[in-house]
């Protein structure tokens, strides 16, 4: 089943307590990407959520409007079995209709502008017709 508004983008509430904990314990790279690139509509006006439960996983960052998931791979992502799990996870997310963009901690910490440009290019290349949602006007 594809992820869309009708199924709350495959949200899994049973993972909410873990997602809350992960939000409080974000890595330095995740915190930088959130603070300087993705939060508060900074990315071309699109809204991202951090540590979002989806399928049987918790995505580092997710934009529902774009069906886009951004993963930041840290030091633990060097072991073979972890890489294999990541590949399985990415395949399942893509089968559900998501695009997954992956960056390493090092890329985010040493080249955050390049990471931001890559995300902007993906949005621009895939969603030139769909404008970002407009903020709701207050009191109307």
What pLDDT does residue 139 have? Answer: 46
What b/e string do you get for 73-99 counting C-beta neighbours within 10 Å, with b at 16 or more? bbeeeeeeeeeeebeebbebbeebebe
Q: Which two tokens stand for residue 105?
A: 């901690």
What pLDDT does residue 100 have? Answer: 95
User: How many domains in the chain?
Assistant: 1
Query: Is there a domain that residue 135 lies in?
Result: no
Residues spanned by the domain of 117 = 5-126
Query: Is there a domain that residue 139 lies in?
Result: no
Per-residue pLDDT of the chain (140 residues; tens, 9 = 90+): 677 676 566 666 777 766 667 777 899 999 999 999 999 888 989 999 999 988 888 899 999 999 999 999 876 545 566 778 888 889 999 999 999 999 999 999 999 999 999 999 999 887 544 555 555 544 44
CATH number at residue 23: 3.40.960.10
What pLDDT does residue 18 have? Answer: 65
Q: For residue 112, give every residue at least 6 positions away whose Cβ sits within 8 Å of its Cβ, in sequence order, or none.
A: 32, 33, 36, 37
Full-model pTM: 0.76
Query: Is there a domain that residue 91 lies in?
Result: yes
Query: Is there a domain that residue 137 lies in?
Result: no
């Amino acid at each position: 089943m594809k992820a869309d508004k009708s199924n709350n983008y495959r949200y899994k509430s049973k993972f909410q307590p873990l997602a809350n904990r992960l939000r409080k314990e974000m890595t330095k790279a995740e915190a930088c990407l959130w603070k300087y690139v993705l939060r508060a509509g900074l990315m071309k006006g699109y809204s991202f959520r951090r540590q979002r439960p989806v399928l049987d996983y918790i995505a580092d960052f997710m934009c529902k409007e774009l069906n886009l998931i951004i993963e930041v791979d840290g030091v633990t992502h060097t072991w073979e079995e972890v890489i294999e799990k990541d590949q399985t996870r990415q395949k399942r997310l893509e089968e559900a209709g998501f695009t997954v963009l992956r960056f390493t901690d090092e890329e985010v910490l040493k080249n955050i502008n390049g990471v931001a440009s890559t995300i902007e290019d993906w949005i621009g290349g895939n969603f030139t017709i769909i404008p970002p949602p407009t903020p709701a006007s207050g009191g109307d």
